[in-house]
Amino acid sequence: MNLELSLIIPLYNRPDEIRELLESLCLQSDSDFEVIIVEDGSSLKSDTIVDSFKDRLNLAYYFKPNSGPGQSRNYGAERAQGNYFIFLDSDCIIPADYIQSVKSFLAEKPVDAFGGPDRADDSFSPIQKAINYSMTALFTTGGIRGGKHSVEKFHPRSFNMGYTKEVFERTGGFAPMRFGEDIDMSIRMMKEGFSTALIPDAFVYHKRRSTFRQFYKQVHNSGIARINLYKRHPESLKLLHFFPASFSLFVIFSLMLMPWTLIPLSFLGFYFLLIFMDALRQNKSIYVAVLAMVASFIQLFSYGLGFIKAVYRRLILGRAEFAAFEKNFYK
């Protein structure tokens, strides 16, 4: 297949981030691709910034009413000229050999869909590096995200995900879910018999959230989304997905027992000592390692609370899909 790549980027109130992403795309060693920006009803529009790159990139910009990232990706795919769609988050920076790595891999192994890893760039803030650690480390739930050392079958994630035009046409693209829509898409692709692969060299630098407050909201909704996904795909729920909820309950249980015993807290202390040592080994910074303990606690505890809340509302009360912090998610 003659690869014609369309890079599709949903955007919401992130003018500074989209500038950095587009600047990184201008530095690609292979410049044969198109870029489609879909601004999803932003109050802080990026049209002027995007226009400033049109002389350096094959670039199209669309503004539409807010409908969420999944539907914005579909909007871009419907207007893409390529036969292979690549979806990137606006808070990513793309290494110079990214496009070449994708093309080289697909030339040798023409799979229907792929995903790539994410990393923290040296320019990221200490908090961003700590959050990146918590989202990718095997000591946290990062081990289920589908990286090179994943503990479950690889599912491409939408911050760095590609699939053919045929996949889009047969599956209908992303479902109208606010969170978990990328995992849902990956599951539906596999059910349709499409092949997927991880391209280790096609990594991106992913900023994620810049504050612990934003991170708490993000992972809380990820916990809720896991039960929403279970309702759509019961086979997708694995034993490991219960770990953050178990962690949250153990923390609450340990605090309740503090007047009588500190033994449960000592287990937590040892666990976070392991996280500190591993984060120190990876980041070579005591400060980042301390922040990594905070980020890991937030990730596990907030995800666990979201998971428990969703179990109660969706499985016990039988209510419809929901998300948290919908009015102030980005604050």
Tens of pLDDT, residue by residue, the chain (331 residues): 688 999 999 999 989 899 999 999 999 999 999 999 999 999 999 999 999 999 999 999 999 999 889 999 999 999 999 999 999 999 999 999 999 999 999 999 999 999 998 888 888 899 999 998 998 888 886 554 545 544 445 678 888 999 999 999 999 999 988 888 999 999 999 999 999 999 999 999 988 777 899 899 999 999 999 999 999 999 989 888 999 999 999 999 999 998 899 999 999 999 999 999 999 999 999 999 999 999 999 999 999 999 999 999 999 999 988 777 655 444 4
Per-residue confidence (pLDDT) for residue 20, from 0 to 100 = 94
For the 5-123+147-208 domain, the top CATH level (class) is alpha beta
| Predicted pLDDT at 144 | 47
CB neighbour burial string for 256-270, b if at least 16 within 10 angstroms, e if fewer: eeeeeeeebeeebee
pLDDT (0 to 100) of residue 329: 44
What pLDDT does residue 209 have? Answer: 72
Question: What are the tokens at 143?
Answer: 């081990």
Q: Which residue has the tokens 């479902």?
A: 175
Structure tokens at 161: 């995900």
Task: Please report, for the chain, the start and end positions of each structural domain, with discontinuous segments joined by +.
Answer: 5-123+147-208, 214-316
Amino acid found at 107: A
Question: If 0-12 CB within 10 Å is exposed, 13-18 middle and 19+ buried, where does residue 1 land?
Answer: exposed
Here the tokens at position 293 are 């303990």
Confirm if 150 and 144 have CB atoms less than 8 A apart.
yes
Tracing tokens 């946290």 back to the chain, one arrives at 140
Predicted pLDDT at 324: 74
Cα 13 to Cα 164: distance, rounded to the nearest angstrom: 28
- Cα separations (Å) of 284 from 192, 288, 295? 44, 8, 17
CA gap 32, 35 in Å, rounded: 10
d(Cα 222, Cα 216) in Å, to the nearest integer?
10
CB 199 within 8 A of CB 117: no
- Backbone angles phi and psi of 298, in degrees to 5: -60, -45
Question: What residue type is 236 in one-letter code?
Answer: S
Helices vs strands, H then E, count in the chain: 11, 10
